[in-house]
Chains A and B, each alone.
Chain A
Amino acid sequence: GAGVSQSPSNKVTEKGKDVELRCDPISGHTALYWYRQSLGQGLEFLIYFQGNSAPDKSGLPSDRFSAERTGGSVSTLTIQRTQQEDSAVYLCASSYTGTGHEQYFGPGTRLTVT
């Protein structure tokens, strides 16, 4: 079946611009996660959505970062006033809820801030 999809695959933006990254999780998965992968910081958790519960935003690095999940499915990660240190690969993952379910990752969006 279809996996997690993300768009765009690559995004180049100028410093100070806003960007939106999109994630389509696997159908039926109730949990959705955003992570960031960069050379200096490795893989970092950003935010986690579970059903109708309040999201876990504990990993968002600043208030320039926000995310929403509409209708319990598609999610958008927004970065306002981008900075060069925001350059990274942004990975989305989804999973079932329940005992021990693993997360399935999308191919990522490579963001470059010039």
Chain B
Amino acid sequence: AQSVAQPEDQVNVAEGNPLTVKCTYSVSGNPYLFWYVQYPNRGLQFLLKYITGDNLVKGSYGFEAEFNKSQTSFHLKKPSALVSDSALYFCAVREHLQGGKLIFGQGTELSVKP
């Protein structure tokens, strides 16, 4: 069965510092990986995805993520955090290339302080 783990419930970062939000996954076949962000009282907003190809994928708002097959990880990163990045971040995996349900991690609350 597929699963996603986000080991940190909360990450605290000072504005201007780099940030990392961790994600590990478990799938039986090829992983199709996604990051979403949720601002308070809003729906989920797509950030980036890994389907195939280059292990470093770039997404919205300056975020990027690195796919590491040997470590089964897909950590979200940003070189310089902004206060406005404070939100809830979800990692998700999908089993099938063509579509199907997402399995989400439990979410990580990112807090960026000035």
Contact = CB atoms under 8 A, between A and B. Distances in A.
Given A42-B104, A42-B106, A102-B49, A95 B99 contact: yes
Interface string A4-44: 10000000000000000000000000010101000000110
Contacts of B99: 31, 48, 50, 95, 97-98, 101
A35 B3 CA distance: 16
A110 B92 CA distance: 22
Among A33, A102, A104, residue most surrounded by chain B Cβ atoms (within 10 Å): A102
Nearest to B44: A105
Given A42-B107, A99-B51, A100-B32, A48 B101 contact: yes
A102 B34 contact: yes
Interface in A86-106: 91, 93, 95, 97-106
Nearest to B101: A45
B57 to A, nearest CB: 11
A48 B100 contact: yes
Nearest to B100: A48
A61 interface: no
B106 to A, nearest CB: 5
B100 A56 contact: yes
Contacts of B87: none
Contact of B45 (A42, A95, A105): A105
22 contacts: A33-B101, A33-B102, A42-B104, A42-B105, A42-B106, A43-B102, A43-B107, A45-B101, A45-B102, A48-B101, A59-B101, A99-B97, A99-B98, A100-B32, A100-B52, A101-B99, A103-B102, A105-B36, A105-B43, A105-B45, A107-B42, A107-B43
